[in-house]
Amino acid sequence: MSEHADVLIIGAGPAGLSAALAAANDGAQVVLLDDNPLPGGQIWRDGAQANIPSQARHLRDSVEAHTHIQRHAATRVVAKAGSQALLVENPERGWVITYRSLILCTGARELLLPFPGWTLPGVTGAGGLQALIKGGMPVVDERIVIAGSGPLLLASADTAKHHGAQVVRIAEQAPLGAVATFAMQLPRWPHKLLQSFSLFDAGYRTGTRIVAALGQDHLEGVRLQRGNKVEELACERLACGFGLIPNVQLGQALGCALGNNAIQVDAWQATDVAGVYAAGECTGFGGSELALVEGRIAGHVAAGNREAAQRLWGERQRWQRFAGSLNQHFALDPTLKHLAAPDTLLCRCEDVPYAAVAAHANWREAKLSTRCGMGACQGKVCGAAAHYLFDWPPVAPRPPFTPTRIETLIQLESAAQSEH
């Protein structure tokens, strides 16, 4: 069983949705895949308690209504099935999609770093907290501490407060000078300036980092450090996020070159693999505005409309400047590489401590010797942490890229035969 697309797009976040609409409006037949049940990606995640921005709803409705766009929800890429074909699978079936052009809009995920107590029930990622609340998790009257780095901390705090939680502290690791310099530049992007006013919180502290989560069977409090001062705060929930890291695994598997641990693209959003483009946070973190315009450029180019794409270069440059400022001023302090104690678990799935992984020279060696990264998350959490902690380069995944049914994998053989 197979399907063909003029333009195949992986990921239905802001970049993927805008790419799909741009390509379809240029006359291309578009297939849009996403592993979530609803479009929007992480930033526009839908759910029982989600408040989706009007811009996101309009874009999503436009994609759903377009006759040239076929969207497949809850669908994952399993393997490469030829020079211009991917094997995919949803809960009901697996099939091959062939394409003329491919756009990777695989987004980014949170960087979670290990520290004493981070495996206690009640500790999540900052973005993870947002996702849980949007999905319906009650947080009324809970005391919450949010720690790590970047604007996601403020956004998570805002979501929690809107659903009845008490945010007792937002601990930003970046120093006051860096945050203040970034804030002074915000008038260049008026929308972001207004957004910052709405997200302001009296419990926000700069130059503050997590030391430990406290408790026995569940989270009871946190220990934070600000300069030479250490404080302990009682709380029922702790959310930590140390920025975002691009999801580059599929790009790597297809042979795309990386730069700064993101998929490398040129002015046309093209990778160094013919017919393969990338847009959004898999090419580097820059926020939804940058993802939207990159997606539109990639969609137009993939559909053959370079003139429309080039008209968007100025807008992209504007948001690239914002992304550059954001990444510069919220850069992680190298001391964060030393949060974990030797016995702190680095791989939660396989109970592998930090010291056992640190004893090895690279990720492959650590996996073979300790089973780190071989559990349920397949290294998505511990692998990213290890790459940051030990400066190990990301390793290309081997197919299948996700746990897959045997009957789906069998289709690889018939796909190979049809190509020859």
Residues in the chain, total: 420
112-242, CATH topology level: FAD/NAD(P)-binding domain (3.50.50)
- Kindly state the DSSP code that residue 91 receives in the 8-state scheme: S
pLDDT, tens digit only, all 420 positions of the chain: 789 999 999 999 999 999 999 999 999 999 999 999 888 777 777 666 667 778 888 999 999 999 999 999 999 999 999 889 999 999 999 999 999 999 999 999 999 999 999 999 999 999 999 989 988 999 999 999 999 999 999 999 999 999 999 999 999 999 999 999 998 998 888 878 777 777 888 899 999 999 999 999 999 999 999 999 999 999 999 999 999 999 999 999 999 999 989 999 999 999 999 999 999 999 998 889 999 999 999 999 999 999 999 999 999 999 999 999 999 999 999 999 999 999 999 999 999 999 999 999 999 999 999 999 888 888 889 999 999 999 998 788 888 988 899 999 988 877 666 665
pLDDT of residue 417: 64
**Alpha carbon separation from 305 to 17, 250, 315 (Å, rounded):** 17, 26, 17
Cα gap 262→264, rounded to integer Å: 6
Tokens of 232: 């302990």
Q: Which CATH class is domain 2-109+245-326?
A: alpha beta
pLDDT of residue 126: 94
Domain boundaries, the chain: 2-109+245-326, 112-242, 335-390
Tokens of 6: 């003029």
Cα gap 225→18, rounded to integer Å: 42
Cis geometry, peptide bond prior to residue 400 (ω within 30 degrees of 0) = yes
Give bridge partners of residue 234 from the DSSP assignment. Answer: 221
CA angle 340, 43, 145 (to 5 degrees): 40
What is the value of pTM for the model shown?
0.94
Nearest to 103 by CA among 322, 291, 307: 291
pLDDT of residue 56: 81
CA 30 to chain centre: 23
Amino acid letter, 302: A
Please write the tens of the pLDDT for every residue from 300-350: 999 999 999 999 999 999 999 999 999 999 999 999 999 999 999 999 999
Let me know if the fold of 2-109+245-326 is the same as that of 112-242: yes
